């Protein structure tokens, strides 16, 4: 008799209908790509989306990252505990310190060096600032100060110190505080400070007598000496004019005489204005007026 069930050892080598279909499906290129790439991508996106759907979980994740970052930045290796300012006078150092306003100790990650440098350079008295982090947690600020070269009288009661380029350095309370610096005045004097310095350099023997330079009409310089003497310098090449005057001075001793104004504005024709007394004396010396008349009329020109 035939056995009813099939023997377990006799396996049909033919694939079942579904196995055959599945193999064919698996060999379909589009399905393969979808299964191998599309499905995992979809699953990852799905899981990520489900996890991030909750606001609290999102916050926890971002907070965790922030916490790790803060912890790392707060490590002692990155702590800045000191600020050293070099190359600045104590007053300026205090000003820079106040200006930077860095709260120490701080992490070096929190220090925005470029912004700090810009802040330090905003101070008038600072020509340039170099910031660096030194080992040991020191924020080193190397300052190059602007050197005051002259005093500018902006208004009758307002004095400012300028450096060689005419940039403002600081305000000055009184002229007597810095008697070593030359004084300039007039509107727009700072813009042509270089010329002023050149003039002061050229003045040489006049320096002890010089009270200052006055910018006239934002155009040319007047040099004011003591005894209210004024040298009116030309707009173009004032230094040459001044040097020529000094030569004239050594030859004729012009400036010690009683002249109020020496007008050098036209180089070919320097002019001088005498004081009233000197004028009278000169006329008398020439015999243009007599002594009697002079006595009568007094100082009448």
Give least dist CB 67 to another protein, A: 51
Q: Please, which residue, 26 or 72, has the CB nearer to another protein?
A: 26
Of the pair 14, 301, the CB lying nearest another protein is at 14
- 185-204 residues in contact with another protein (CB under 8 A) are none
Helical H segments across 182-237, by residue range: 193-203
Query: Which residue, 20 or 42, is less far from another protein as judged by CB?
Result: 20
Give the nearest distance from C-beta 6 to another protein in angstroms: 14
Q: Which is nearer to another protein, 23 or 250 (CB)?
A: 23
Provide the 10 A C-beta neighbour count for residue 185. 20
Q: Are 96 and 123 in contact (CB under 8 A)?
A: yes
> Which residue stretches of the chain are H helix?
17-26, 29-33, 39-52, 55-73, 90-100, 113-121, 193-203, 238-252, 276-286, 291-297
Using CB under 8 A, count the residues that bind another protein. Answer: 13
Q: Which stretch binds another protein (CB under 8 A): 11-19, 64-72, 109-117, 233-241?
A: 11-19
Segment interacting with another protein, rule: CB under 8 A, options 6-14, 38-46, 100-108, 150-158? 6-14
Among 8, 13, 208, 287, binds another protein (CB under 8 A): 13
Residue 99 and residue 96: Cα distance in Å, rounded?
A: 5
Of 14-43, binders to another protein (CB under 8 A) are: 14-15, 17, 19-21, 23-24, 27-29
Q: How far is the CB of 4 from another protein (least distance, A)?
A: 20
Separation CA 273–CA 271 (nearest Å): 7
For position 1 contacting another protein by CB under 8 A, the verdict is no
- Gap between the Cα atoms of 242 and 234, Å rounded: 9
For residue 5, the minimal CB distance to another protein (Å) is: 19
* Cβ pair 239, 255 in contact under 8 A: no
Count Cβ atoms below 10 Å from residue 204 Cβ, excluding itself.
10
Nearer to another protein, 17 or 251 (CB): 17
Residue found under tokens 């300026």? 92
Smallest distance, Å, CB 11 to another protein? Answer: 12
Nearer to another protein, 36 or 67 (CB): 36
Pairwise CA distance, residues 262 & 206, whole Å: 14
Q: Considering beta carbons, is residue 9 or 288 the nearer one to another protein?
A: 9
Other Cβ atoms within 10 Å of 154 Cβ, number: 16
274 burial class (0-12, 13-18, 19+ CB within 10 angstroms)?
middle
- Min dist. Cβ of residue 1 to another protein (A): 17
Question: Which residues in this chain contact another protein in the complex, by CB under 8 A?
Answer: 12-15, 17, 19-21, 23-24, 27-29
């Amino acid at each position: 008799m035939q056995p009813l069930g099939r023997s377990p050892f006799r396996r049909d080598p033919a694939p079942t209908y579904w196995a055959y279909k599945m193999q064919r499906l698996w060999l379909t290129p589009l399905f393969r790509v979808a299964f191998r790439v599309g499905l995992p991508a979809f699953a990852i996106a799905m899981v990520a989306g489900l996890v991030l759907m909750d606001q609290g979980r999102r916050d926890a994740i971002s907070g965790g990252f922030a916490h790790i970052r803060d912890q790392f930045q707060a490590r002692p290796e990155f702590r800045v505990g000191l600020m050293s300012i070099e190359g600045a006078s104590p007053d300026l150092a205090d000003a820079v310190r106040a200006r930077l306003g860095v709260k120490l100790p701080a992490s070096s990650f929190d220090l925005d060096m470029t912004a700090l440098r810009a802040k330090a350079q905003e101070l008038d008295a600072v020509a340039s600032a170099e910031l660096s982090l030194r080992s040991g947690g020191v924020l080193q600020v190397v300052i190059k100060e602007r050197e005051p070269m002259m005093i500018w009288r902006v208004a009758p009661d307002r004095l400012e110190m300028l450096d060689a380029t005419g940039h403002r350095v600081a305000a000055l309370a009184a002229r007597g505080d810095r008697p070593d610096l030359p004084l300039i005045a007039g509107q727009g004097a700072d813009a042509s400070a270089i010329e002023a310095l050149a003039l002061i350099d050229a003045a040489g023997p006049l320096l002890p007598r010089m009270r200052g330079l006055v910018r006239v009409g934002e155009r040319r310089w007047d040099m004011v000496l003591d005894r209210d003497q004024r040298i009116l310098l030309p707009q173009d090449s004032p230094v040459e004019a001044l040097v020529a005057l000094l030569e004239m001075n050594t030859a004729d001793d012009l400036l010690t005489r009683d002249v109020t104004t020496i007008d050098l504005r036209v180089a070919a024709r320097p002019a001088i204005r005498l004081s009233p007394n000197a004028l009278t004396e000169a006329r008398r010396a020439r015999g243009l007026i007599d002594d009697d008349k002079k006595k009568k009329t007094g100082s009448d020109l």
